[in-house]
Structure 1
């Protein structure tokens, strides 16, 4: 592979969008179009002591750098692999007296790499750091103030013996981080743990109904460690059949919102007006705002009142979740559902959001039967809205399947787990840790289902005995964060 070239894709000028990526050959659903190591990446400030600074895996016991006392690693292998990127940072942290924020650390890592290698095209890179969008000219006054503060903090941290860069170039790097940073997740993709810059990925334009997805994959730990010096990679994977010459697109935001709201979010965070077909034609907006049909169809005023009540309740739910008041969350969900159910349609996004929270929190509280009912309704709605190969859909179906299994509903549970496995094979691939976990669940529930079909009474007796002889498996504590979004945006 020569510098600035990649066999599978090429950079082209996309009409009305600037640069974009175009397929050079045919891809089928699940194909990896390319895998890319991070140009630079850092762990979030709040997780620096629980996440490996090399492979971004969450580990119970990490080895701390003996010099700066800041960086943590899985083992000596990860620590040695990190030294090229950590060497300058380690010295600067010791001299500075403390580690700066994640944005400053990421900017510094980018600058040190430029100091070592120059800012031109690297091996396998389609675009240089200098050519990435920064949108500095589009920033509002408050954002410009934050940018100036970041630049000042950077200059305080940056060692005088390192290559010195002009204020304009430093501002460019912070602009690149702000609008091109990619959220890194833990090994199971459930928690955002850091942010990195991936120049090739940055060229993929947005579409609300994309033909590709991006997955952070460090599934085969040793293989990844031998493949990339940065010890982690993202994969651009095909969601549908892609022909040579087709533009490769990803979604910067969750599709589960009406087109007007998605466009507002994209304009605010990424400074462009979305002109995708789904936004222009308001496709699926009717489903997301659906109301009950029939003789007793609710009035527009009633619908407005219920939606406002739902928004207010979601705010209260977020506050209660932050405080760990999960029984209060359940109470709020039940009250809201009582008001929603006579008014809102089964695919209404406000109903689906409450169903999602209710099923997750009830599972955590071991109230599996009620949780399974809400999870099934949520999945039924999602299946009518999301792209059939959407990663968030796959994760939601998987959680619903596990909840049904816990509730003893083996037939529905196995069916949902199989459906989730089919989706995640495409979105995550067979080597991803979460797909491997799901394959184990699929095999187990298939075996249990056969036992259930042969003798239902004996199945429940054996299940009861098995559960008595082991500690009740506690479901993961509900997260106070949304699922990791694709592109990182500094708040």
Structure 2
């Protein structure tokens, strides 16, 4: 087994395997980085981001064979070919009918790498990919059926190019990816891909995390967002910390098969603020609140299922109208600071951005940001991304002084969570100085 300087694996009481530090770390300091064992770029980002190094730039060169993958230059293309050739062949074979999910694409690449791998990789200094948690015995019927569909997709698109392990091993591998996969995001938290980082998979969850995972190309970096003393366990958050305790626990049980016992989940200290109701002349009953929570959860789920509208030729105004109707109904019980209200306002902002209704996007964004600052930790990617979006919107609307001031607030957070030498930080500094 290789080592990570300053970090060690240990048995965390009640949590199984975990990671702790053996020296002190300050806010913003890099604990360790981990290259992706395997990764895929989202199909929607092709042509905008290099398939090999994940650099976003103009003028990318396309693969001459499949015409679907894009690269910075010949060097990136050559480096990616051992990974890309599998997908290149399948895309050429299926043409317009090629449509495996991101998870299927990632698993196919993992199988190909496992086949060719001769030694422990730099992504597995502490944990081999095959030893990641799978929780297959805890999967419910719905998850099993979903995984079976993924396995069918794998066979459909890759059977001519890969030899697959037997069914149970495939079930385990897909489960490992579901439990341990990381969504790759850019500086505005837009989804750009999917990856696995075995060593980072050892890090346990807390709703009060002391480290954060960000990305530098295809490498994940773990940085301190609190001061950490020698011997302390390091924790990341597996989920969005915005929501109240009940929602977080439900999400953790569903996706990761455990309940959190961190300080926030034990004390529920933020729940009253997160679930704030309106002050009306008539007192709102507990039943009214419970009914509205149920409505909000269902509405949010229905809205998520309706997001296809943004990717089709349908009129997005219907989606904005849906957002506004939900916000109005929830507003009869919930305060504007209520997290369910914030969720729908954030979605409404996204629809406004899609339709280039920048004034509407700013209106919703300012309401959301005002509460994010209170509800999220100081060094939050969610807060930074909102500052970024609002700053760029303000500049686009010829409100440059406000825009620059807002971008500087994003920069202060990004220098901590991404590191002062990160490409995103350099680009933002150029933006602020007017060099772009």
| TM-score category (smaller protein) | 0.7 to 0.9
User: Conserved in 2, the CA contact under 8 Å of 1:359 and 1:372?
Assistant: yes
CA distance in 2, matches of 1:165, 1:387: 43
Candidates 240, 248, 267, aligned match of 1:262: 248
What displacement does 1:194 show?
A: 2.2
- Decide whether aligned partners of structure 1 residues 317 and 405 sit closer, same or farther in structure 2, where only a CA change above 3 A counts: farther
- Decide whether aligned partners of structure 1 residues 294 and 410 sit closer, same or farther in structure 2, where only a CA change above 3 A counts: farther
User: Conserved in 2, the CA contact under 8 Å of 1:4 and 1:123?
Assistant: no
| 1:280 correspondence with 2:266 | yes
What is the root-mean-square deviation in Å for CA atoms of aligned residues?
Answer: 3.6
What displacement does 1:442 show?
A: 3.8
Candidates 364, 372, 375, aligned match of 1:382: 372
| 1:80 correspondence with 2:56 | no
SS class of match (1:208): coil
- Decide whether aligned partners of structure 1 residues 308 and 268 sit closer, same or farther in structure 2, where only a CA change above 3 A counts: closer
What displacement does 1:249 show?
A: 1.0
Q: Which residue of 1 aligns with 2:144?
A: 144
- Decide whether aligned partners of structure 1 residues 339 and 248 sit closer, same or farther in structure 2, where only a CA change above 3 A counts: same
| 1:24 correspondence with 2:10 | no
Q: Which residue of 2 aligns with 1:227?
A: none
Q: Any stretches of 5+ residues in structure 1 without a counterpart? A: 219-231, 446-491
CA distance in 2, matches of 1:377, 1:46: 29
CA distance in 2, matches of 1:311, 1:4: 45
Candidates 224, 234, 241, aligned match of 1:248: 234
Q: Which residue of 2 aligns with 1:216?
A: 215
Q: Any stretches of 5+ residues in structure 2 without a counterpart? A: none
CA distance in 1, matches of 2:251, 2:139: 15
SS class of match (2:240): coil
Structure 2 matches for 1:252-401, cutoff 5 A?
A: 252-293=238-279, 297-303=283-289, 314=300, 319=306, 322=310, 325-333=315-323, 343-362=333-352, 371-401=361-391
What displacement does 1:107 show?
A: 2.7
SS class of match (2:234): strand
User: Conserved in 2, the CA contact under 8 Å of 1:122 and 1:128?
Assistant: no
User: Conserved in 1, the CA contact under 8 Å of 2:51 and 2:70?
Assistant: yes
User: Conserved in 2, the CA contact under 8 Å of 1:119 and 1:128?
Assistant: no
- Superposition TM-score, scaled by structure 1 size: 0.74
What displacement does 1:203 show?
A: 0.8
- Decide whether aligned partners of structure 1 residues 4 and 405 sit closer, same or farther in structure 2, where only a CA change above 3 A counts: same
Largest Rg, 1 or 2: 1
Number of aligned residue pairs: 428
Q: Which residue of 2 aligns with 1:115?
A: 115
- Decide whether aligned partners of structure 1 residues 307 and 96 sit closer, same or farther in structure 2, where only a CA change above 3 A counts: closer
Q: Which residue of 2 aligns with 1:424?
A: 414
CA distance in 2, matches of 1:398, 1:96: 39
Structure 2 matches for 1:48-87, cutoff 5 A?
A: 51-58=49-56, 62-67=60-65, 71-87=69-85
Structure 2 matches for 1:133-172, cutoff 5 A?
A: 133-151=133-151, 154=154, 157=158, 165-172=165-172
Q: Which residue of 1 aligns with 2:11?
A: 13
CA distance in 1, matches of 2:137, 2:44: 30
Structure 2 matches for 1:411-490, cutoff 5 A?
A: 412-443=402-433
CA distance in 1, matches of 2:155, 2:131: 23
